[in-house]
Chains A and B, each alone.
Chain A
């Protein structure tokens, strides 16, 4: 098997916050997260909103907030991605497609922003190609972001990532609040990036959309990845591995809309061992210990009883 473009091993991200008064507390928002993305592949990290999954993107890009610290190992194309290395690669080989359209500069024309001010013939040629591919007219180059619709601006955001010919694209919640048709169209652009040889990591809350548009899914629960599965595994409940993923599957409107009670544990009162334990029907005393992330049937799962 080829070396993955991005391999995250045992990533930990914690925040230092003030409790009452002077006391500082550590909040381990991401704990022992593992995921890998290969060339030409789209992987989605799916987790509920407000659970801290955006931090994963910020951690890889080296743009965590001041009070966060990160542990674990990030390997990019076989070599560790150190702070120096990401600072060099960020914006050309590794790009981030941010969540909000507010990342576009409202005072710069679209074409200028995408070219990042460069005017050489090669960049101009690339821009033309990208515009053709994304159905953007030549005139759009000379418009400002506020003159475009939301959907067009989203394409512009992706285009700013594409102009660099990136090897790794990380997209943070690229389709917030869009309906399925529009969201799927946005996701098609990522597929094109992957077809050109990039590795794409998408962070989203929308499992149903991910199932229709990506290759593999990593399920994010309580700050960690509990399962990595191919999209095909989601066709039947039996091919899934973790009890939480199975519960997610059953909760889809088309699969019965059933639910399990409870909610994800809060970082301050995270149980020892398996974070899903309080809601799991199969849990035993052994679940309180260390749970290894093991490979089963071509995917990975963090559960002692997965087969």
Chain B
């Protein structure tokens, strides 16, 4: 499978800043692509375009040759957000978060180091690293083909960061899920990606 970005331009509403100007990139589902960009480049916007949260002003985003917007229901391109605190509903218990995903396997939950005790808690009772494990598990449902990681480990401690990436590398390799990792951390991208694209 391939995820293609063809000549995409995007600008914030009205007189906003031009984030992308005729940008193109093609990603295979057996690859792990790192996108390196400085703060304020619009990395999150790029991720949102790639996973269908936003529509490009110009150009198209194709998954297997079909426009991403033509996939109804579950989106095969899933994004993991930078701040897990906002990515879960503060009024739902954590087990509900997992249930929202597309039949997330028990194995994934276990390998991410999610403990049974955490399932019964509310998001306010977990640390950032623990919450991020949940949002990763939720994004790894059965129909996921591409995974976008938007600075998912910048706010976490180093051990959690390396635990999470170790799992993601094994999982995406085994299921042939394409991975796009966005970060400002060159050393990290060099470690985890098969190809790094520098944006500026």
Question: Which A residues are closer than 8 A to B by beta carbons?
Answer: 47-51, 150, 176-182, 205, 207-208, 247-248, 251-254, 257-264, 266, 269
Contacts and interface: CB of A to CB of B under 8 A. Distances in A.
A259 B162 contact: yes
Residue with the greatest number of chain A CB neighbours at <10 A, chosen from B39, B126, B165: B39
Contact of B125 (A253, A257, A266): A266
Contacts of A48: 127-129, 156-157, 160
Interface stretch (B18-26, B141-149, B182-190): B182-190
Contacts of A180: 184-185
Contacts of B130: 50, 263
A205 B117 contact: no
A14 to B, nearest CB: 15
A182 B131 CA distance: 27
Residue with the greatest number of chain B CB neighbours at <10 A, chosen from A177, A181, A254, A262: A177
Contacts of B162: 251, 253, 257-259
Interface string B167-188: 0000000000000000011011
B159 A247 contact: yes
A260 B38 contact: no
A205 B159 contact: no
B127 A254 contact: no
Contacts, number: 82
B166 interface: yes
Interface in B64-110: 82, 85
Contacts of B160: 48, 263
B158 to A, nearest CB: 4
A51 B125 CA distance: 10
A80 to B, nearest CB: 32
A181 B161 CA distance: 21
Contact of B82 (A177, A181, A182): A177
Nearest to B158: A251
B127 A51 contact: yes
22 contacts: A48-B128, A49-B127, A49-B128, A49-B155, A49-B156, A50-B128, A51-B127, A177-B39, A177-B151, A177-B155, A179-B39, A182-B38, A248-B158, A248-B159, A254-B187, A257-B162, A260-B159, A262-B113, A263-B115, A263-B129, A263-B160, A266-B125
